[in-house]
Structure 1
């Protein structure tokens, strides 16, 4: 049946053309944007994942910037520490040169003084972005200052757990008596401003841990006279074969604290001040160091640091040393020996601090490479979810354009059929 009121063919052709136009609109949007999933309506799950990962990648970009800033701070501290180590080594060589030169030591001290000033200049200059890792306020500033470590942080990574929780991880570096060169608090516990705590050649430093009431444990260092293995053997045969660390001669016991060094210990708690942690225990027997308050190294300070030692005052220092341990400084060379040992010890501390900085440098380098790679991988993963295949979309667009032309022609034919009915009335 042919009707002039209802053109079924035109309606079908128009519906098909509308469908083609919608498909063309979608395809053209993909071609123009390059994205298959551009809005949540395209694919809610993929759009949500892609949006979250783009957010994480943005955070990782910030992490990269923070790593660069952290690397600059660490590099500055490491470079300054290396320079300080070289300077202290030079001071040590000047101390060696001071042996046997007598009156000429004044000239050597002039050179040492300039090197000491250089150390202060190096430390003060090691600043980046307002932070100086070679000097800080790391004590309470008291006479026998208590440490107040300062933690410096370098932002290292951004993480998201399976449950969706996010966190920023950091690389931490602690500023304390073992890592800073100068203590700005006035407590003088830095590597370069800390005082010599005199330990004679026949003594070794031992640590006694005590606790008062509910307070935290406190470590104190004491100078303890040690015996060598040959000196022990001269006293008598070991009466304690059960414990290789304890050598017992009669009622007296000695504990091995280092290779060739044995220090007297007792089974009686010295109660300094209330609770003393044993340094060794065998079964129910507890051993404690035999120490005295006078041998507390806090009372053995000579007032000499790397930055103020003066070889023009050897006689005064010798008097101090002999007052602490009789006969420990028979001549000026003995004082120079003490200074050389002290400088070597501080050099070891500086080397250890430089090693820690070097380790952080390596960690930051590795993290920078990892973050850069991770950013690329996330970008690639997001692309797989939402990027359009341009070869496929261009082919589809060409096909839809052809379909559109055919649809228009079909609609024209359907509309022409209605016009053909007029010919039946023209006679």
Structure 2
């Protein structure tokens, strides 16, 4: 049945064309934006997940920046520490050369003074963005450094910032606090230690005899020589002073004849240590940065003090090597974490893309098909609208 009032064919064709145009609009929007899910109306679940993950990815980008800053700070400290180790090694070599009695200790001290100045410069220059880990006030400054390492979100949606902790208390070369007594810097702390004359222990010699097995007779046992030691209490520090006394006393004893040794009692030992103290005091403030050997002479006690000073510097060199190792480990940890965060950020980006990105190959193919359907729809609508004209021709 044909009707002038209701054109069913045109209505069907128009409705089909309207659907095609709507689908084409969606496809064109996906092509122009590159997104399959551009807002919540496209897919609420996917849009919500993608929005959250994009926000987390921005936080990870900030973490990458923080790790870069931390890596630079550690790298500066490590570079300065590595250079300082070489300078202290040079000081040790100068002190060793000074053990030769023919060498002018004033000239050697002049070289050592320049090296000490270089160490101060290195410590003061190890600064990056206001952070100097090698020169700090170990009493007031926060030595437990924290570098932002990651941004995490658990299953419940709670977020957390995780840090990489670096303990700089073991790497400080120069302690800037005002109190010298509590200075703990590797280079600036006093190596003198504690000393009390009462710590000298003396054991007198004996002439014991013992009975032999067999026929009744006695055999004399060689006398036990007197012995000396310096026993430092557990709550006291054994530094250069005690070690110098112990070494000088041993050198003194080794140089005595048997008869002189037998006559070398506690009083004579203490009297000798009074002379050794004069040699000990010549070193000055007893730190690597202030040690002065210019007034040390060729006496046995002076030589003993010089040998102990070399050992003390060597111990500080070992401590600096350990500090450099710690910094190197921290540097490696930060580099590994930075690489991980970068890869994690890339993975999140890919995951979000799989949720919301449009497949451009599929969308372009779909657009071509919709354009063909649109043309056919327009043609069908045109044919349906021509039906009324055909009815009019029946009345001619």
TM-score range (shorter-chain normalised) is 0.7 to 0.9
Matched, 1:184 2:176: yes
More displaced 10-residue stretch of structure 1: 95-104 or 46-55? 95-104
CA distance in 1, matches of 2:200, 2:186: 23
2:145 corresponding residue in structure 1: 152
Kept in 1, the 8 Å contact 2:105–2:296? The answer is no
Kept in 2, the 8 Å contact 1:156–1:367? The answer is yes
TM-score, structure 1 as length reference: 0.70
TM-score, structure 2 as length reference: 0.75
Please state which structure has a larger fraction of its residues in helix.
2
Deviation of 1:186 (Å): 2.3
Matched, 1:388 2:383: no
CA distance in 1, matches of 2:234, 2:148: 47
Deviation of 1:339 (Å): 0.5
Root-mean-square deviation (CA, aligned residues, Å) is: 2.6
Deviation of 1:173 (Å): 1.5
> Following superposition of structure 1 onto structure 2, how do residues 185-334 of structure 1 map, counting pairs within 5 Å?
185-187=177-179, 188-198=183-193, 291=233, 295=236, 303-314=285-296, 331-334=301-304
Kept in 1, the 8 Å contact 2:97–2:103? The answer is no
Q: Which deviations, in whole Å up to 9, do the C-alpha atoms of 1:317-357 show, x marking residues without a partner?
A: x9xxxxxxxxxx95111101210111111111111111111
Deviation of 1:401 (Å): 0.9
1:72 corresponding residue in structure 2: 72
Matched, 1:172 2:165: yes
SS in 1 for 2:187: coil
> Following superposition of structure 1 onto structure 2, how do residues 337-416 of structure 1 map, counting pairs within 5 Å?
337-416=307-386
CA distance in 1, matches of 2:92, 2:139: 27
SS in 2 for 1:311: coil
Greater relative contact order: 1 or 2 (C-alpha under 8 angstroms, separation 6 or more)?
2
Kept in 2, the 8 Å contact 1:46–1:386? The answer is yes
More displaced 10-residue stretch of structure 1: 13-22 or 301-310? 301-310
Aligned length, in residue pairs: 321
CA distance in 2, matches of 1:33, 1:224: 87
More displaced 10-residue stretch of structure 1: 62-71 or 109-118? 62-71
Kept in 1, the 8 Å contact 2:149–2:163? The answer is yes
SS in 2 for 1:169: strand
Deviation of 1:199 (Å): 7.5
Larger radius of gyration: 2
Unaligned runs of 5+ in 1: 141-147, 201-222, 226-262, 265-289, 319-328
CA distance in 1, matches of 2:189, 2:200: 21
CA distance in 1, matches of 2:200, 2:165: 36
Deviation of 1:310 (Å): 0.4
Deviation of 1:102 (Å): 5.5
